[in-house]
Structure 1
Amino acid sequence: MSYAIDRYPCEESPRLGAMTLHPVAESVPRARRWFRKFLTPYQPICSVDDCVLLLSELVTNAVVHGKSDAPWLVRVEWFRLGTSLRVEVHNPGLPKNVRLRCPDASDAHGRGLLLVDSIADSWHSGPSRFGGTVVAFTMAEAWPLSS
């Protein structure tokens, strides 16, 4: 299986990196490892562990809920926007199918977006510029103000 990882160290670009992943369960730990590896050198002051957890939840949702008749990939991109970190996860699913659930204590699934909603400063879902769906979260004040 091949995976693509892009890193954009150019200061003019707000995009810090991107990766494409096959829609299989093994992509979730791979996304965690690569995201941590490429985000850490930028020295964010927000919790990298929290960001990795949220990324893991969104990639899991993309793998489980993405649908297409043709072969497809999950695309992950992360950006520095001023002092904020924005992480986007794209898949070919339908944007209207993304919803925050309130699972019962006995439910085994359905807590991913609750975690995102609880930890991230903001999140949203909608149509992806690549087609399908994007679910994104933002960590405000991920970096100090520039002097």
Structure 2
Amino acid sequence: MTYWFNRFPSEESPWLGAMTLHPNPESVPRARRWFRKFIAPYEPACSVDDCVLMISELVTNAVTYGRADEEWRVRVEWFREGSSLRVEVHNPGLPADVRLRRPDVDDTHGRGLFLVDSIAESWHAGPSRFGGTVVAFLVADAWPA
């Protein structure tokens, strides 16, 4: 797996959209709907269904595992990075808590990052520029070069 690090939006990595979600289960389908709606005008060549699946998994993880002593939100942002699409999911919590598992066939949980690892060109987990954790993925060839 290739690791890469989130950067602030720049001319080389223009910000395409963002959403802020409440940390509850209803935010997962909302994230799917909003991403589809907001990415459509950019006409990506990559599988939006794959992106929605990965966003769904990461928002689910953020809602399930994010922790803070005060009120908090999950933030999802997406950027164009050359011909690639980069999506970041930010939440409170410790980066050390993010780990890739290899679930057994009969496990009912633990497939989120496994799916992201299988579908994305690369992914990264680390400190968020907002505090807490960011888990992000890169989808190659989202637009013509």
TM-score by length of 2: 0.90
1:1-147 alignment runs, 5 A limit:
14-145=14-145
The secondary structure found in structure 2 opposite 1:107 is: coil
The runs of at least 4 consecutive aligned structure 1 residues that moved more than 6 Å come to none
Deviations 1:32-85 (A, max 9, x none): 000000111101100000000000000000000000010000000000011010
Q: Give the residue type in structure 2 aligned to 1:40.
A: A
Aligned residues: 135
Cα distance in 1 for residues equivalent to 2:28 and 2:134: 17
Cα distance in 1 for residues equivalent to 2:23 and 2:40: 25
Q: RMSD of aligned C-alpha atoms? A: 1.2
**Higher RCO, Cα 8 Å, sep 6+:** 2
Cα distance in 2 for residues equivalent to 1:56 and 1:115: 11
Shift of 1:132: 0.2
Q: Give the residue type in structure 1 aligned to 2:138.
A: T
Shift of 1:12: 8.4
Cα distance in 2 for residues equivalent to 1:18 and 1:38: 9
Q: What residue ranges of structure 2 are gaps of 5+ in the alignment?
A: 1-10
Deviations 1:4-47 (A, max 9, x none): xxxxxxx8870000010000000000000000001111011000
Could you tell me the percent identity over the aligned residues?
A: 77
